Structure formats: structure tokens, C-alpha cells
């Protein structure tokens, strides 16, 4: 399979890489944690063994999730490639993130999203990305603002609304 994105993206503290089967267990833990899914799926998911859903999460070359590693610990970040590339669900490339609760508050989402934003401009020659953030998710709004995202509008999303924040990647 040929991917449009690098297989690995590195920062000073993190390594983002394509998912492997070893990431299934941390991914399941995250999607079963009510706090972790409060601003994503909104409901804990029942996930069994890797199957068809794993392909959607692990990537197709135009949309992909990436696992995040820091100091040897696996962190699950739904950051990056899925965020940096056009998802079949959206009209524009989206950058997004989800991280296991025990790794919150360390700046990992900001650092990983920043690396993906840079990769999108440099490697994919994107001029614009968006993030969809639920109105009540103040922590993600802080990440978006620290990356230079600006509020554009509020749109219908799933069973509620989402705020669209845009990043201009050209200066």
C-alpha cells in the first residue's frame, strides 16, 4: 500500500507512527473510557477483536490514524494523518486527537497536532486544515488556539453541533 503521508513523524518527545496490531488494546481502553469519548463518539464503544473497524482506524493511505509513543509508553493519538488528510466524511482535511486519560495534561496533543500541521503544509502542500470541536470542549479549543486555529462557524454535527476552527498553512 502506498501512503500519502510519512509512516513516522517525530518531535523532540514523541513519535507518531501508523497503527499496528499492538495498538489495539490501548485503543480499546480509550474508547471504553467514558471521559476519553465524551467529546468524540460521546458513548463508550464495545470493541472486540480487530476487524473491519480496524481498517478504518488504522488507515487507508488517504486517511489514517497514528499511534503516539513517548518514553516507551504507548499513547493512543487519533491525531495526525486522519487529521491531516481528507476524511471521506468531511469536505476539508481535518486534524483531530484523542489520548488515553493517563497522558492528559502533558502537552502531547498540542505537540503531535503541531507536527501533523507542519507535515500537512510541507509534505502534502495543504494550505488549510480544520478541526471540529464540540462547543463544551474547552481543553481542545485551547489546543486549537495554541496552533493558530481560528473560529469560523458552528455547524450541525452528529446529534448536536460542532465549532469549526480553521488553520491557514500559508504565510
> In this predicted structure, what is the pLDDT of residue 68?
61
Residue 144 falls inside a structural domain: no
Tell whether 98 is covered by a domain.
Answer: yes
pLDDT of residue 2: 58
Task: Tell me whether residue 132 is in a domain.
Answer: no
- Please give the residue range of the domain that contains residue 21: 8-126
Q: Is residue 135 part of a domain?
A: no
Q: Within 10 Å of residue 110's Cβ, how many Cβ atoms?
A: 16
Burial of 73 (0-12, 13-18, 19+ CB in 10 A): exposed
pLDDT at res. 88: 38
CATH of the domain at 15: 3.40.630.30
Number of domains comprising the chain: 1
In the predicted model, residues of the chain with pLDDT beneath 70 are: 1-4, 45-90, 171
pLDDT for the residue 49: 58
Per-residue pLDDT, 105 = 87
Separation between Cα atoms, residue 75 and residue 66, nearest integer Å: 10
DSSP character for 49? S
Residue 133, domain member (yes or no): no
Amino acid at each position: 500500500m502506498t501512503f500519502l503521508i510519512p509512516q513516522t513523524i517525530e518531535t523532540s518527545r514523541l513519535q507518531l507512527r501508523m497503527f499496528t496490531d499492538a495498538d489495539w488494546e490501548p485503543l480499546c481502553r480509550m474508547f471504553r473510557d467514558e471521559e476519553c469519548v465524551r467529546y468524540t463518539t460521546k458513548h463508550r464503544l464495545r470493541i472486540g477483536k480487530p476487524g473491519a473497524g480496524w481498517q478504518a482506524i488504522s488507515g487507508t493511505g488517504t486517511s489514517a490514524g497514528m499511534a503516539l509513543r513517548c518514553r516507551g509508553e504507548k499513547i493512543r493519538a487519533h491525531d495526525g494523518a486522519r487529521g491531516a488528510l481528507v476524511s471521506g466524511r468531511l469536505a476539508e482535511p481535518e486534524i483531530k486527537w484523542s489520548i488515553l486519560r493517563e497522558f492528559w495534561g502533558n502537552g502531547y496533543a498540542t505537540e503531535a497536532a503541531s507536527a501533523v500541521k507542519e507535515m500537512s503544509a510541507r509534505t502534502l502542500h495543504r494550505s488549510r486544515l480544520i478541526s471540529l470541536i464540540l462547543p463544551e470542549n474547552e481543553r481542545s479549543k485551547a489546543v486549537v488556539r495554541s496552533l493558530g486555529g481560528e473560529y469560523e462557524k458552528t455547524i450541525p454535527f452528529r446529534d448536536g453541533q460542532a465549532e469549526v476552527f480553521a488553520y491557514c498553512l500559508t504565510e
